[in-house]
Chains A and B, each alone.
Chain A
Amino acid sequence: MCGALALGCGGRPSSWDAPYVAANQNGLAPAYGLTGSVAVVDTALKRVTMLSAPSSLTLTSRSIGLGTDLVAARVSADRKTLFALSRGVQPQRTPGDERPQLLLIDGGTTPQISQRYTLTEPMDQLALDPQNEWAVVYSGAGVVVNLNELVLVNLSQTGADALSFKTLLSFGGSPRRFTFTTPLAVPGGDPRRFLIVERDADLVLIDLAAPEREAVTVPLPSTDTGGTASSAQVAYDADSASIAVRVTGTTSVFMLQLAAPASAAQNFSVVTNLVDVGAQPSAIDFVHNSQGLRLVALVGSSAVLVDPDTATTQSVQMPAAFSGIRRITNELNPAAAAASDGDVALLYGPNIPKIAYFNLSGAPGALFRSIESYDIGVAVKNVIDVPGERYFDRKILETPSQQFYVLDLRTRESAPMKTNAGLTLEVAPDGERVWAYNPGQTGFASVDFANLHPVSLIAERGVSNVFDIESGDGQRAAVALHLAGSAGIGATVLSALSPSTAYAHFYSGLELGGVK
């Protein structure tokens, strides 16, 4: 009939035949929370649907194209920007085929593309600098792949000038983890930032002030049995330009001291040392006590203090075998932290129903009195920071069970919060409250740090994520997403400041917006 009548011919864009499917591939999450919007990844249409709230009870959506073959997406540490890495059209057949790119989307109340970096080759992995100065793209999948080639993206620049291509000399292996340091006070030069690349059997140090200069590769020590070791954790101290590496399979901590260049070809040199702490440590960190800088290594039921200059050690008995350490000096006294001669650290562990405060300001001989433990009845698997300026002295203690604790570091009081199901926590970017939910269930709750009053809420559909965003009118909106398989994109939006489902609005069909 179509041909005979010459009327009905013509189709529709194929987008209408591509169901939305919540992203679940490696490197991608279904949704990302930003400061003023929520990004829902829609890989079927190569786009992200940005949800923003004009007011605390309304939601609008806008779709932004992400490029072909999205492989990784990350949110910046300040949650202001979404980074999306795509491989483009592969293989390239025409000059107009889309190139690989790194796209930056401003996640404010009016989401928009803020920057686009075109790459020369498709790559799969993305690492971000917590200070938003750098991004690293690496690990390609071409016919020939240089596993040790990094593309350093200077986020303060635009276009091709922003890209630096760096091939790391290798003793074998490929990049596994990246640490962007704060400015390290390296002798013989201005303080500058470094990128520490952890690979299978070595570390690479890249001076970010001169990334074109040759990187320094430092092989890791062998295990105690002579095998190949790998790094498990990197810690650094900015003032002394010291780096410590916790290495698997050895009772020693690998210490690196960045020093003045030994030759004109260098812009810094590295002095290494191995310090035996008696057993394999479970965590390390740098602290200051009254005698200066020390490395703390948690070893069984002991905390071993290492003097980086002399490699001498001092052991302190802990009330339990804590395996996690978090420096909390800044949170307790932000004004005096820079000049502090005694740090305070929080000790915890996933198998110990206690936490402890490790106060390093006492005299060296009184270390045995420096650890004060508190029995909270549950183990702590993770310590979550609270952003913002109001409740920075609070920590969220995430437990392996269906509870979490809000810990006031000043009063040392902890408020247990019991949930009736599993637990996922989302701290509001303004640092005023924490949201708890169990993905797939309808129940979710907010706990306001001002009064620790929990407000339990029941959505009308299962909740996959909860995000707390700034609304266009300067208030805050809570967006409870309803993403389940290929059903579509839905959300319940309610005021984050006075949450109540009695006034919430329900949105769905958001995947249908802007289809062309």
Chain B
Amino acid sequence: MSARFGLSSLLLVAFSVGSPSAHAEPLAEHQPYAQASLGVRVGKVSDSGYDPFSSSDELTQFSLGLGGTFYRHQRFSLAGVGFWDYGEKSSTARGASTELDVHRLTIGPELRYHLLPPLYFFVHALPAFAHTSASLQDSVAQVTRHARHWSYGVDAAGGAAFEVYGAATGFPRPRIWIIAEGGYGYLGSTSLEMLPDVGEGPQRPASVDLGSVSLAGPYFRASAAVGF
């Protein structure tokens, strides 16, 4: 509900600010050739395998994005975008300290539609590659156990970007955008068979099997971007 309200507000602002100059400004100058973004991605992970590492279902990640437009046609443009999301979560599992580090790389095409020069909407479906590193402080074995794996999936999302700063005309000049997107990030499950690193801990340690974890779930990303 609150996300929908936020999007409506954004549209309202876009119309009120952007409409007077809609016919005066050339659109292409607002279709960024290159864009770099910095933001926060918040995902909801409902998989029970996430429970040992977090007391809530939320996974917050720092998000760094790069993109470049390579095709334009009137209000439409096609860009290539990529994101690196990194986040870590720590908790305790029945008194044992746990930690989960997640790197997520996504790259792929993004279709944009400029409703107004300072406002565009976009959708993208980005193949995703994630590396998860789970750790568990094992007090009995007196060692840190790990489970490190790659997993693969896709991020499908849509969103809107609003230009909050930028000259009306002229090129190249930096423009600052506020971007919001929401979607679903799918990732396959990875095993949580926790083992000490080779040479550490007792001889022939059996794994601590916490099952598997999938970081799939809906997410929201908010970022600020600089575009040229």
Contact = CB atoms under 8 A, between A and B. Distances in A.
- The answer to whether A and B interact is yes
Interface of A: 1-13, 15-20, 44, 58-59, 460-461, 482, 484, 486-490, 492, 501, 503-509, 511-513, 515-516
B54 interface: yes
16 contacts: A3-B2, A5-B42, A7-B58, A7-B219, A8-B42, A12-B51, A17-B92, A17-B94, A461-B140, A461-B141, A482-B140, A508-B205, A509-B194, A511-B94, A512-B210, A513-B209
B57 A10 contact: yes
A276 B136 CA distance: 68
B218 interface: yes
B202 A11 contact: no
A504 B56 contact: no
Nearest 8 CB-CB pairs, A to B? A8-B58, A19-B95, A509-B208, A490-B140, A10-B57, A12-B51, A506-B202, A508-B140
Contact of A5 (B136, B217, B220): B220
Contact of B95 (A8, A482, A486, A507): A486
B214 interface: no
Contacts of B48: 12, 516
Contacts of A19: 94-95
Contacts of B2: 3-6
Q: Which of B43, B206, B217 has the most CB of A within 10 A?
A: B206
B73 interface: no
B199 to A, nearest CB: 14
B43 A7 contact: yes
B203 A11 contact: no
A2 B58 contact: yes
B222 to A, nearest CB: 9
Contacts of B217: 7
B42 A1 contact: yes
A19 B194 CA distance: 19
Contacts of B201: 506
B145 interface: yes
Contact of A9 (B1, B56, B93, B145): B56
A488 B56 contact: no
A506 B96 contact: no
Nearest to A515: B94
Interface string B203-228: 11110111000000111100000000
B202 A13 contact: no
A58 B3 CA distance: 52
B9 to A, nearest CB: 13
B206 A505 contact: yes
B44 interface: yes
A20 B95 contact: yes
A503 B203 CA distance: 9
A493 to B, nearest CB: 9
Contacts of B220: 5, 7
Interface in B34-55: 42-44, 46, 48, 50-52, 54-55
A509 B204 contact: no
Contacts of B141: 461, 490, 506, 508-509
Contacts of B91: 16
Contacts of A44: 94
A59 B206 contact: yes
A119 B199 CA distance: 52
Max chain B CB contacts within 10 Å: which of A492, A508, A513?
Answer: A508
A278 to B, nearest CB: 57
B142 interface: yes
A444 to B, nearest CB: 15
A4 B60 CA distance: 14
Contact of A8 (B3, B44, B205): B44
A6 B94 contact: no
| Residue picked from B94, B96, B209, most chain A C-beta under 10 Å | B94
B74 interface: no
A125 to B, nearest CB: 30
Contacts of B55: 11-12, 16-17
A461 B202 contact: yes
Nearest to A504: B204
B209 to A, nearest CB: 7
Q: Which residue, B2, B139, B217, B220, has most C-beta atoms of chain A within 10 A?
A: B139
Contacts of B42: 1, 5, 7-8
A257 B94 CA distance: 57
Contacts of B94: 15-20, 44, 488, 511-512, 515
Given A8-B44, A506-B205, A2 B138 contact: no
Given A4-B2, A509-B136, A460 B96 contact: no
Contacts of A486: 95
Contact of B51 (A13, A503, A513): A13
Contact of A508 (B51, B93, B138): B138
B3 A6 contact: yes
A366 B38 CA distance: 103
Contacts of A492: 202
Given A10-B44, A488-B139, 7 more contacts: A10-B56, A10-B57, A17-B55, A19-B94, A461-B140, A507-B206, A511-B94
Contacts of B136: 509
A7 B60 CA distance: 10
